[in-house]
A and B are shown apart, each in its own frame.
Chain A
Amino acid sequence: MGDTWIAREISLSPRVVFPNKILPYLLVAPQLAITLVFFYWPAGQALYQSMLRQDPFGLKSRFVWFANFRKVLADPAYLNSIKVTVVFSLATAIVAMVVALLLAVMAEKAVRGKGLYRTLLIWPYAVAPAIAGMLWLFLFNPSIGSLAYLLRSLGIVWDPLLNGTHAMILLVSAAAWKQISYNFLFFVAGLQAVPKTLIEAAAMDGAGETKRFWTIVFPLLAPTTFFLLVVNTVYALFDTFGIVHAVTGGGPGKTTETLVYKVYNDGFVNLILGDSAAQSVILMAIVIALTAIQFRYVERKVHYG
């Protein structure tokens, strides 16, 4: 089915013919060069390194084929970090999106000061991950944090240094908080694209506010929601190193060690380069798979209004 679809698509699109044979290649050459130098070359290096066992100084190396991969995949700590990553990514994406949608709907309803609300809500996006991490770390630091003090006075024993669940909550809060602004922006744009006539018609038919939201607005937001789901998941998977590094460093135990953090820890703290490279190759495979799924499968099923 896919092939016929592509064939139809090609036959429908007008055929562009370039008279010059070399110029097109010259035009894409800079882009290709950048991709070669900044992607293919390091990726190749990682692939080669992932099959080596080497001391940190590179004085002795052995080619071991896939032994590093076998070792990594059999390591309970690695399997644990997959679990941690899934929990963390899903929680971050869901929290960031739900809160952003709620705020966007509220901001839409505001009669006065819409612009001010929006500007204030977009602000956190400009904060660097490590700074966001430190901010939350200070707020929830068991001994000096103001919010930790509040929790304590409410009778809640708050200890992210030893309690893995607390540490995860702290991480998800920091990571989601940073992403809410971005999601908010897209949801506001999405909400504005929902035709007012539809909502008014529904209102005239007697549909209440909640009903209008779930039957009209929410389905029409599906493309935005899907796009954000992908972006947020990728963000939580790969762009949160700074937050993890600043807030928990993977602890307590290994309860917040994500896949990306483990690559760093094994490579640059423990200096086991082969394992670290093998893990980054696995991560590369995950990214490729995610992208393929996005383009090949899911994107077609979503109705773009």
Chain B
Amino acid sequence: MKFFGFAAGIAATVTLLSTTSAFAVTQISWWHAMTGANAEVVAKISKDFNASQSDYELVPVFKGTYPETLNAGIAAFRAGQAPDILQVFDVGTGVMMAAEGAIKPVADVMTGAGMTFDKSQYLPGIVGYYSKPDGTMLSFPYNSSSPILYYNKDIFQKAGLDVNNPPKTWNEVWEAAKKIKTSGAAPCGYTSTWLTWIHLENFAAWNDVPWATQQNGLAGGDVELKINAPIFVDHFQALADLAKDGTFKYGGRTSEAKQIFLAGECGIFTESSGGLGDIVKSGMNYGIGQLPYDSDAKGAPQNTTPGGASLWVFGNKSDEEYKGVAAFFAYLSKTDVQEYLHQKSGYLPVTLAAYEATKKSGFYDKNPGRETPILQMIGKSPTDNSKGVRLPNLPQVRDIQNEELEKMLAGQQTAQQALDNAVARGNAAIKEALEN
């Protein structure tokens, strides 16, 4: 389509413009979607990597939001101008995996460059998500996050709730939310970002129940959604009931609800650990707790699944470029680099060594709550239900889920109807995507 040609043209221009230095140095292009403080991290890591050696020059290029970056990468590939490294968000993982001829697995890139690649050094929950069913690591986890619970301590105090004891189960969340609302401590009790990621995908993993068949799609093949099982229906019916009188307040499909929490309108909030920065900046008297689990679930809490993004390497590049990419990934895995990335950006460290080093440095004692998302992810070794979810068309399936949940929250249908519809429409969309 016309947009693709245009985007690829821009992409080519940017690549040409950024080609400035001597030809002896191999250029490695890295398209990313990081803004604000996270963009500074990208810039510093690239600069330090370039200074650390003289064979390769890493050129980071900002390409817009996550979906825009993915589209730019796809467009560039179609035009034969793909970058070496593309940052793709979690939801796009299935899209990239389905494109076997377009990408080169990270494991192959590393071994091809003569480097030993020890998977066991990385956090298992994260590595598992970005690997093929046979264990081959496909992409390099750059920024990973996990959903946690935040609460406003001032509102808790006013409502007569225990300030040092955030709710642990969803039932406790509902009760605390009602108390906040009825006591008048705040106009709303609870709000949440990303209902699909937190209340469906992570809800399933954390409570160790299937989100879909075939290990939630990780094993490939015919995948059918399982999100209309009773445990989901009960959970969402409770949410829908609370939405009726405003005890639960809906903010939007992605992270819009953060504004509601920051405005002091709601007392309890579930959101990505990557959202911590803004809450710290707001100066709120906040607390952090684990993601709540369902008290009826047997294995709960199991482990949460990673969100965020990973770095993909495109195929059909020269050996020199692959060596450069491998050198960069090796640099990125260094403990001090990971420590910096973790402490500065709020994303999780991807190596166990970086986690241990951060722990030893006393960072978690000074910043309570920063360890919570890591503990959630590595606390237990993942089951078939908790390695993450993967579909070739996850963005579309999430859209469908959002639409049905919005109708439910607006009181147009029950939780059972909403989830049944989401399953039926989602399964049809998955089937069609697999046929293509």
Query: Which A residues have a C-beta under 8 Å from some C-beta of B?
Result: 42, 45-46, 49, 53-60, 141, 143-144, 161-164, 249, 251-254, 265, 267-273, 276-277, 280
Given A162-B250, A162-B406, A269-B67, are A55 and B1 also a contact pair (CB < 8 Å)? no
Contacts of B402 in A (CB 8 A): 251
Which one of B95-103, B115-123, B132-140, B225-233 contacts A?
A: B95-103
Interface mask (B392-424 → A, CB under 8 Å = 1, otherwise 0): 010110010011101101100000000000000
Given A143-B260, A161-B252, A162-B409, are A269 and B265 also a contact pair (CB < 8 Å)? no
Beta-carbon contact of A267 and B1 below 8 Å:
yes
Listed by A's residue number, 22 A-B pairs whose Cβ atoms lie within 8 Å are: A42-B2, A55-B98, A55-B436, A57-B77, A57-B78, A58-B78, A141-B259, A143-B259, A143-B260, A143-B263, A144-B263, A161-B406, A162-B406, A249-B253, A251-B402, A251-B403, A252-B407, A254-B403, A269-B396, A270-B395, A271-B395, A280-B1
Interface mask (B341-370 → A, CB under 8 Å = 1, otherwise 0): 000000000000000000000000000000
Given A164-B410, A270-B395, are A46 and B95 also a contact pair (CB < 8 Å)? no
A272: contacting residue among B251, B256, B396, CB under 8 A: B396
Contacts of A59 in B (CB 8 A): 99, 101-102
Contacts of A276 in B (CB 8 A): 1
Given A56-B74, A57-B78, are A253 and B393 also a contact pair (CB < 8 Å)? no
Beta-carbon contact of A271 and B393 below 8 Å:
yes
CA A269 to CA B395, docked complex, whole Å: 7
Closest residue to A71 on the B side, CB-wise? B432
Contacts of B409 in A (CB 8 A): 162
Beta-carbon contact of A143 and B410 below 8 Å:
no
Contacts of A272 in B (CB 8 A): 393, 396, 433
Closest residue to A276 on the B side, CB-wise? B1
Given A55-B436, A251-B253, are A268 and B3 also a contact pair (CB < 8 Å)? yes
B406: contacting residue among A58, A141, A253, CB under 8 A: A253
Contacts of A269 in B (CB 8 A): 67, 395-396, 399
Closest residue to A275 on the B side, CB-wise? B432
CA A161 to CA B95, docked complex, whole Å: 29
Q: How far is the CB of A59 from chain B (nearest CB, A)?
A: 5
Q: How far is the CB of A137 from chain B (nearest CB, A)?
A: 10
For the complex of A and B, 7 pairs with smallest distance between CB atoms: A42-B2, A252-B406, A270-B396, A162-B410, A57-B99, A57-B102, A253-B403
CA A280 to CA B2, docked complex, whole Å: 11
Contacts of A254 in B (CB 8 A): 403
Contacts of A143 in B (CB 8 A): 251, 259-260, 263, 265
Closest residue to A274 on the B side, CB-wise? B436
CA A214 to CA B173, docked complex, whole Å: 62
CA A252 to CA B259, docked complex, whole Å: 18
Contacts of A60 in B (CB 8 A): 436
Q: How far is the CB of B75 from chain A (nearest CB, A)?
A: 10
Those of B91-133 within 8 Å (CB) of chain A: 95, 98-99, 101-102
Interface centre among B1, B99, B433 (most CB of A within 10 A): B1
